[in-house]
Amino acid sequence: MKLDVTDEKSVNDAIKNIRSDAGRIDVLVNNAGYGLGGALEDVSMNEIRAQFETNVFGLIRVTQAVLPTMREQKSGIIVNISSIGGKMALPYFSPYISTKFAVEGLSESIAYDLEPFGIKVVLIEPGAIKTNFDSGMVMPAKSLDSGSPYFKNMQQVLGLMNSMLQNGSLPDKVAKVVLDAVTSQSPNLRYTAGDDAAFLVQKRKELSDPEFKKFVSEFLSKPSA
């Protein structure tokens, strides 16, 4: 069934069709998303708006369309695919990182609102996963211009990101975490997914802001990076 999260009509039609075919909606997985990279100065407002339109407003649009059904049923679970980038910042991905921080805050907040109606909210925080994410990544033209003052540093980070994604965990690991969450009687609010995710989220928790910044900078300046 076609569903474009940036298109209100497409969302409403799809949810209406599911509702009339199945009579109920038990699980919503908000997975649609892509990465917009680049140093902030090199990214246009339109590119940033489009990034939020899919990763944040799209998630809100589908959630709003599903909520009346789940509320009437007094049950349901909403799974929002965040990222370790919703818990920590990496350089040259500020548009993407800010969408995932938004998803984290939104999810944590609506978990309170929806609890009285028997609706659960879960955040999944994957690390590097081998999907089509790297080929779907949007890099603004200005950020790919070697005249950009950010070009050299950004290229280094981009190279590292691509190699992390290519060596990432298989997506079925994330699917298994989602399945475990939606079949649990009392799911957690947050789950990490993928081989590197728990380690990095734990590091972010343990280290102070300057310590974590040093950890990331050292990691990025490794020769293999």
Ligand X SMILES: NC(=O)c1ccc[n+]([C@@H]2O[C@H](COP(=O)([O-])OP(=O)(O)OC[C@H]3O[C@@H](n4cnc5c(N)ncnc54)[C@H](OP(=O)(O)O)[C@@H]3O)[C@@H](O)[C@H]2O)c1
Q: In angstroms, give the least distance from the CB of 207 to ligand X.
A: 21
Q: In angstroms, give the least distance from the CB of 135 to ligand X.
A: 7
Between 114 and 128, CB nearer to ligand X: 128
Between 90 and 128, CB nearer to ligand X: 128
Backbone angles phi, psi at 50, to 5 degrees: -65, -40
Show the tokens assigned to 185.
């009687």
Which of 50-54's residues contact partners 24+ apart within 8 Å by CB, and which partners? 50/138, 51/95, 51/96, 51/99, 51/138, 52/95, 52/99, 52/102, 53/6, 54/5, 54/6
CA neighbor of 38 nearest in space, from 179, 161, 193, 208? 161
Residues found near ligand X in the complex (CB under 6 A): 3-6, 31-34, 54, 58, 81, 83, 126, 128-129, 131-133, 136, 165, 168
**Which member of 82, 83, 98, 143 is catalytic?**
82
Show the tokens assigned to 209.
């802001």
**Which member of 100, 107, 120, 191 is catalytic?**
100
Between 142 and 173, CB nearer to ligand X: 173
**Which member of 96, 98, 120, 191 is catalytic?**
96
Give the CB-nearest residue to ligand X.
33
Positions marked active-site: 82, 96, 100
